Amino acid sequence: MNSRKVCKADFTVHTDFQPQVKQALLARTGAGRHAHQRWLSVIAMLCFLFAVALAAQESHLGQRPYFGWSSFSEQTINSSFLTQSNIAAESDALTASGLQSHGFQYINIDSGWQGSFDANGRPIPNTATFPDIKALIAQIHKNGQKAGIYWIPGVEYPAVVANSPILGTPYHIQDILTVPYTAGNAFGGSGTSPYHYKIDYTKPGAQEYTNSVVALFASWGVDLIKLDGVTPGSDSYNLSIDNRDDVAAWSNAITASGRPIWLTISWDLDEDYLSVWQQYANARRIDQDVECEGDCSKLTNWPRIYERFRDLPGWENASGRTVGWNDLDSLELINGAADGLTNDEKRSALGLWALANAPLILGGDLQNVDSFGKQLLSNDEVLAIDQTGKPAKQVLDGDLEVWVSNLGDGTYYIGIFNMNATVVHATIPWSLVGFRYAAEVRDLWTHRELAPSAIGFTTILGAHASRLLRVRGLGTPISSPATSYEAESGILGGSASIASCPACSGGEKVGNLGLGENNTVTFDSVYASKAGEYLMEVDSMTIGLRSYIYSVNGGLPQTLNCSGGSFLLPASTTVPVYLEKGLNAITFGSPVSYPPDLDRIVISGNGDFPAPSTTSYEAELATLNGSAVGEFSNYSSGLAKAGNVGGGAANTVTFSNVAVAADGTYQLEIDYQTSGPRSLFMSVNGATATELDLNGDTFNDPTPVVVQVNLHAGSNTIEFSNATGYAPDLDRIVVAPVV
């Protein structure tokens, strides 16, 4: 195909369609009267590099993540939403909203548009809902936008039965299928009677069939294809269904079509095959759907946003202009309370997506964009972060997370996120970020210049709130000692065992942890030169959500919530940990649920890192009486909760060692799960119980409530019960000072 033509198209996309974002980037670089010339020079160089890359691989079309909207979120709450008239109305609404001038230009038609197959076995629209899809896409283009469409690998049953001839070849559909018949994607069923049939790309006519499908989409004017149900991934983490050859074939078909088309593959991809995803796709979905899809009454909720914070560390080094982008799914930001997020949670979500350089794909209804959503998505300083091509790295995990994008010229984008519902006072030393002191600090939510600081940044954060900064950093931080401890050299208990891991630090890892108190690994010789707060890097491996319960010197169990896309590729995350002077023992496991496999830990610092102001206590680790029981819970902290609480005076959960340093009033966050109204009775240190009337959408996702309690210095007891009625399930409690 014509590389110059495509480069011209890409030039148009990334200069003319995002003028405000461009101006924000120019402002960051101190643009003067020759700024536009410099911008064009940069674009010309990028265009040249793009053309060179394109000659080798069509999937390098996406030099930056795209901005747009997808129909799927709205489809999850309105089953009749997906129609041509509604998509046309959303396209018009995007134009009217003003968001298009800030870069939002893709209109993506998700699953459900297809009705049957043409004479060559290619999917064609349901004429009742999409009477003229070509005219719809023409309207989208007339609005200055681009059109996306959804499809899946393989061939569906009706086209297989029809055994249609493949366009331009002597072959038929049944000639190109894997024999014996097997499922063609994650939706394909199982056995020899799948609904979606696998294509064997070693057979003549196979690539030509996929070429013909993409050519049909191109003839309609499609600019983006979302290829869904791709494995390994999509909840099928084995090679019994393997779509790697499909992804390559679709990429090749896009090249053959002669049309520049973005290719996104979905969902929850297996990171072990990252090189394939990077080679052939512009973006890959690294996690589950962000939508509740019936599990809650809104489009999404905070636990599903938090899942992205957990997923991303394992993929943070995998994205960029030449290898594609990490897709975090849709952003539910535009429809007020219907989105299921508070305004602070919406800021935090957009901040993470932007720092990750993820595609910004809006969900919801563009015809009802509220004022806060419009304000949020018109913030060109924040949107510019997403376009830098410098995805952020997580430098601190736990109840307070810090993510940093280093642009390489002394400029840093820094996101500070409160993962709890308590209000917190947070201090972040600049040494954590990678420099000694700050010459300039700008708040990107408020567009205000802040006073520079020589030591670090201090802030107060509300529930699930964040600060997003642009900082000019100077100097190299004072180096601090770091010591690595291999898991396979630790003391293994119970079922814990050593396994080979070529990508791990010592070539081995420890697995089979958890699901019992004794299935642990203990690092028994962790040295600290003095007592104090250190940083502990934990290198772990998992597919999907998992959590460690760890303790230092037999003290309070602490939680590290993780996720990942591979059991073979370590992901690093760092938390603060208090160590005594001399040798310390740190034990990892989980009495109730599944921890990740463990490669190693690395202890660094001089014992002077700011100590966390919050302390968490897992309900499943509390004293459970009567019928109360610890049980698996996928979205809960620690991957477990306490269930069967209440319904009798004996069925209680007691936190018997809630420790604080001084007498006083404290914030108490209670994370609970219920579907409908239930009551908890809370007693502190044996006092008369207080009734808490609680409500929620689901027993799967925790909901927080924050109350104030009086605690005394030292150890306190907090008991939850309901003698006469059923109580909610309990995930955890968090204790924090009143700020």
From 724, 646, 735, 634, select the one nearest 684 (Cα to Cα).
735
What tokens does 638 get?
């620690």
| Residue 409 to residue 307: CA distance in whole angstroms | 31
Where do the DSSP E strands lie in 233-330?
Answer: 262-265, 283-285, 325-327
Residue 18: pLDDT above 90? no
- What pLDDT is attached to residue 49? 35
From 729, 723, 420, select the one nearest 559 (Cα to Cα).
420
Q: How confident is the model at residue 710 (pLDDT cuts 50, 70, 90)?
A: very high
From 510, 8, 9, 476, select the one nearest 221 (Cα to Cα).
9
| Rounded mean pLDDT, 490-519 | 96
- What pLDDT is attached to residue 189? 80
- What pLDDT is attached to residue 38? 34
> Would you say the CATH fold of 615-737 matches that of 65-151+208-389?
no
CA atoms within 13 A on the CB side of 660: 22
- What pLDDT is attached to residue 238? 66
| Rounded mean pLDDT, 534-559 | 96
| Residue 15 to residue 8: CA distance in whole angstroms | 11
Which residues are bridge partners to 697 per DSSP? 675
- What pLDDT is attached to residue 240? 81
Give the helix, strand, coil percentages of the chain, each rounded to 5.
25, 35, 40
621 backbone dihedrals φ, ψ, rounded to 5°: -100, -5
More confident residue, 364 or 2: 364
Residues 6+ apart with CB under 8 A from 127: 115
Q: Is it true that domain 615-737 has CATH number 2.60.120.260?
A: yes
More confident residue, 237 or 214: 214
Residue 731: pLDDT above 90? yes
Which of 95-104, 188-197, 256-265, 690-699 is predicted with the least confidence, judged by mean pLDDT?
188-197
Residues 647 and 637: beta-carbon distance below 8 Å = no
| Residue 64 to residue 69: CA distance in whole angstroms | 16
- What pLDDT is attached to residue 44? 38
- What pLDDT is attached to residue 417? 98
Which of 177-181, 203-207, 477-481, 557-561 is predicted with the least confidence, judged by mean pLDDT?
477-481
SS3 label, residue 587: strand
CA atoms within 13 A on the CB side of 203: 20
| Rounded mean pLDDT, 509-514 | 97
The percentage of residues in the chain with a pLDDT greater than 70, rounded to a whole number, is: 91
C-alpha distance from residue 37 to each of 40, 43, 44, 322, 698 (Å): 5, 10, 10, 25, 55
Per domain, the residue ranges of the chain are: 1-56, 65-151+208-389, 403-474, 482-604, 615-737
| Residue 350 to residue 377: CA distance in whole angstroms | 9
What tokens does 659 get?
């420790």
Dihedral (CA of 586, 623, 635, 665) sign: negative
| Rounded mean pLDDT, 592-603 | 96
What tokens does 499 get?
């396994």
94 backbone dihedrals φ, ψ, rounded to 5°: -60, -45
| Rounded mean pLDDT, 726-734 | 97
| Residue 78 to residue 112: CA distance in whole angstroms | 13
What tokens does 152 get?
């899946």
Number of H helices, E strands in the chain: 15, 42
Greatest Cα pair distance, the chain, in angstroms, is 84
The percentage of residues in the chain with a pLDDT greater than 90, rounded to a whole number, is: 88
Residue 508: pLDDT above 50? yes
Q: Is it true that domain 65-151+208-389 has CATH number 3.40.190.10?
A: no
- What pLDDT is attached to residue 218? 98
**Cis omega (within 30 of 0) for bond into 702:** no
Query: For residue range 610-658, what is the model confidence (pLDDT) as tens digits?
Result: 999 999 999 999 999 999 999 999 999 999 999 999 999 999 999 999 9
Dihedral (CA of 450, 453, 457, 460) sign: negative
Residue 88: pLDDT above 80? yes
C-alpha distance from residue 535 to each of 267, 314, 405, 432, 601 (Å): 33, 19, 20, 10, 10
Looking at domain 482-604, its CATH class is mainly beta
Provide the residue type at 127 as one letter: T
Query: For residue range 201-221, what is the model confidence (pLDDT) as tens digits?
Result: 999 999 999 999 999 999 999
| Rounded mean pLDDT, 708-725 | 97
| Residue 725 to residue 720: CA distance in whole angstroms | 13
Query: For residue range 292-351, what is the model confidence (pLDDT) as tens digits?
Result: 998 888 999 999 999 999 999 999 999 999 999 999 999 999 999 999 999 999 999 999
- What pLDDT is attached to residue 63? 87
Per the prediction, the chain carries an average pLDDT of 91
Residues 6+ apart with CB under 8 A from 29: 35, 38
What's the distance, Cα to Cα, between the start and end of the chain in Å? 61
| Residue 210 to residue 493: CA distance in whole angstroms | 52
Q: How confident is the model at residue 14 (pLDDT cuts 50, 70, 90)?
A: very low
| Rounded mean pLDDT, 344-373 | 98
Residues 395 and 707: beta-carbon distance below 8 Å = no
Query: For residue range 250-263, what is the model confidence (pLDDT) as tens digits?
Result: 999 999 999 999 99
Residue 190: pLDDT above 90? no
| Residue 276 to residue 263: CA distance in whole angstroms | 13
Tokens 């019936």 found at = 294
Residue 136: pLDDT above 80? yes
CA atoms within 13 A on the CB side of 345: 22
- What pLDDT is attached to residue 295? 87
State the DSSP H helix or E strand holding residue 46, giving kind and residue range, or none if neither. Answer: helix 35-56
| Residue 710 to residue 415: CA distance in whole angstroms | 33
One DSSP character per residue, 321-363 reads TTTBEEE---B--SSGGGGS--HHHHHHHHHHHHHTT--EEE-
Topology annotation, domain 403-474 = Immunoglobulin-like (2.60.40)
